[in-house]
Amino acid sequence: MQVFTVEGMSCGHCVRAITQAVQSKDPAASVRVDLAAREVGVESALSAEQVIAAISEEGYAVKVA
């Protein structure tokens, strides 16, 4: 599982937006969002760069944890 630090997440809408952004690129992806830790875990065939790009498109600052 790849883990990313994501700034700006604060609510259920953020969780849905991030999950949908990743799954739009890889429908089989498993996405785990931890709002308190500001972390997103992704199990997917996507590269880290592809996951970062998908989440960034939603307006969040992302980096590999």
Render pLDDT for 25-47 as a digit per residue (tens, 0 to 9). Answer: 999 999 999 999 999 999 999 99
Question: How confident is residue 56, by pLDDT bands cut at 50, 70 and 90?
Answer: very high
Closest CA to 43 of 61, 27, 59: 27
Residues 6+ apart with CB under 8 A from 56: 62
pLDDT score, position 5: 97
Closest CA to 44 of 63, 24, 59, 60: 24
Question: How confident is residue 16, by pLDDT bands cut at 50, 70 and 90?
Answer: very high
Of the chain, the end-to-end C-alpha distance in Å amounts to 11
Instruction: Tell me the pLDDT of the chain averaged across its residues.
Output: 96
Confidence (pTM)? 0.92
